[in-house]
Amino acid sequence: MTADRLSFFDTTLRDGEQSPGCSMSIAEKLHMAHALDALGVDILEGGFAIASEGDSQALEAISREIRRPTIASLARARREDIESAARALESARRSRIHIFLASSDIHLKHKLKISRDEALENADSSVRLARGLVDEVEFSPEDATRTDPDFLSQMVAVAVAAGATIINLPDTVGYCLPQEYGAMFEMLRKRLPQLEGITLSAHCHDDLGMAVANSLAAIAAGARQVECTINGIGERAGNAALEEVAAALLVRGDCFPCSHGLVLERLYPTSQVLSEVISFGPSPNKAVVGSNAFAHEAGIHQHGVLANPLTYEIMTPASVGVPHNRMVMGKHSGRHALAHRLQQLGYSLDAADLDIAYHRFSELADRKKSIFDQDLLALVPERLRRFSAETDAAVATTSRA
Ligand code: KIV
Ligand code: ZN
């Protein structure tokens, strides 16, 4: 297989913003859009123009200021949504309307209360309308993964015939397993030869914790656009986390012959920008960008990482923009890590003194959850200690490192 180009479609400012506690002001969206631009995303979904005046204004501002990526607005398959999206995108260098329309019977019957035929008509007319107003049209059969495959094929065929050039197959409710999600892409490609030249896109939710695995399965099955959010924020359990998909492509490039345009060193800084904007960050154990993602406490691990980081790290912190790995001193830490940290703090202990310090350390670690550098300094045998401005400066510098 040749190395195809995979496009990263970021929906932090749309699907991500739809999650509780994640709403952003226009200025915050713009600030975040600049960070996403620097990260190198290909398509930036800035909002859902008709949903609010704020979203519409944010899309206008993003379209004016962010010139490299394609700017997208979500729209239902309705004239008013599509016209509102087109107006908000007028200044974009390259514009995309992303139309979604439910395709599963459960959504058609209980939510939209329309027949399958009516849905096909709406898909056709909305894509035709949008095609004349922006540079490109993306079509999403919402709840694709719970849609009858025959009807899904029919709806996709209608959208393509009407002019959609990107077909997104959302796992709207996070229901799919990776092998099923990949198979859906293969099934459609087999059934519909007209998909040759059309970009297929993955959009996964994390209700069963499989959003990233499903996205990767889709890429392996031929998807060449992946829709993600920073820190995995999004409806309910969230969307596929962009940083995790990108890291998987970095570490397991052997399985995914795709190139992309992300600046991987911007992953962590972008995650930090989002955490600041929405006032909450990822959980500490979150892959790639969580505070523990490159932290080691267990003695055996610390010893290994000090000898060679490859023992317990599958990517370097620097490769994803994390400034350093972190040796956390706690009850699982060993002598090597203690000696290393004390050395960083200015104390090279011989074996006997290290024995004393380590004994004190073990006692302390049993009592105390968080052990700080000042605690460690107090473990050094008294005759060696030199508490001074110099030591305080060493603590301050190495704590920041
Ligand atoms: O999850 C979903 O189905 C969506 C669509 C609007 C693409 O977010
Ligand atoms: Zn979604």
pLDDT in tens, 58-83: 999 999 999 999 999 999 999 999 99
Going by CA atoms, what residue is nearest to atom 8 of ligand 1? Answer: 15
Instruction: Give the C-alpha separation, 244 to 312, whole Å.
Output: 18
Structure confidence at residue 388 (pLDDT): 45
Low-confidence stretches of the chain (pLDDT < 70) are 1-2, 386-401
So what CATH class is 7-278?
alpha beta
Q: Where in the chain is the domain with CATH 3.20.20.70?
A: 7-278
Q: Which atom of ligand 1 is nearest to the CA of 173?
A: 1
The one-letter amino acid code at 316 reads: T
CB-ligand 1 contact for 103 (6 Å cutoff): no
123 Cα–ligand 1 center, Å = 15
144 Cα–ligand 2 center, Å = 11
366 Cα–ligand 2 center, Å = 45
173 Cα–ligand 1 center, Å = 9
207 Cα–ligand 1 center, Å = 14
Degrees, nearest 5: CA angle 275-281-287: 115
320 Cα–ligand 2 center, Å = 25
Helix (H, G, I), strand (E, B) or coil at 293: coil
Going by CA atoms, what residue is nearest to atom 4 of ligand 1? Answer: 172
Pocket test for ligand 1, best of 13, 15, 214 (most atoms within 8 A of CB): 15
Helices (H), 294-350: 299-307, 335-344
Ligand nearest to the CA of residue 166, numbered in listed order: 1
* Exposed/middle/buried for residue 206 (C-beta within 10 Å: 0-12, 13-18, 19+): buried
Structure confidence at residue 387 (pLDDT): 53
Q: How many Cβ atoms sit within 10 Å of the Cβ of residue 80?
A: 10
Q: Which two tokens stand for residue 181?
A: 């999600």
CB-ligand 1 contact for 142 (6 Å cutoff): yes
Gyration radius (Cα) of the chain, Å: 25
Q: Which residues contact 57 (CB under 8 A, 6 or more apart)?
A: 26, 88
296 Cα–ligand 1 center, Å = 37
The dihedral over CA atoms of 147, 157, 228, 84, expressed in degrees to the nearest 10, equals -110
Structure confidence at residue 397 (pLDDT): 54
Structure confidence at residue 400 (pLDDT): 45
Structure confidence at residue 385 (pLDDT): 74
Going by CA atoms, what residue is nearest to atom 2 of ligand 1? Answer: 172
Percent composition of the chain: helix, strand, coil (DSSP 3-state, to 5): 50, 15, 35
Closest among 196, 206, 256 to 227, alpha carbons compared:
206
Structure confidence at residue 393 (pLDDT): 54
CB-ligand 1 contact for 282 (6 Å cutoff): no
Structure confidence at residue 367 (pLDDT): 92
For CA atoms 223, 229, 231, 236, the dihedral sign is negative
CA distances from 322 to 11, 265, 272, 276 (A): 23, 8, 10, 16
Ligand nearest to the CA of residue 235, numbered in listed order: 2
Q: Which two tokens stand for residue 290?
A: 């969580």
CB-ligand 1 contact for 336 (6 Å cutoff): no
Pocket test for ligand 1, best of 11, 167, 176, 205 (most atoms within 8 A of CB): 205
In angstroms, the first-to-last Cα distance of the chain is: 42
Query: How crowded is the C-beta side of 216, counted as CA atoms within 13 Å?
Result: 19
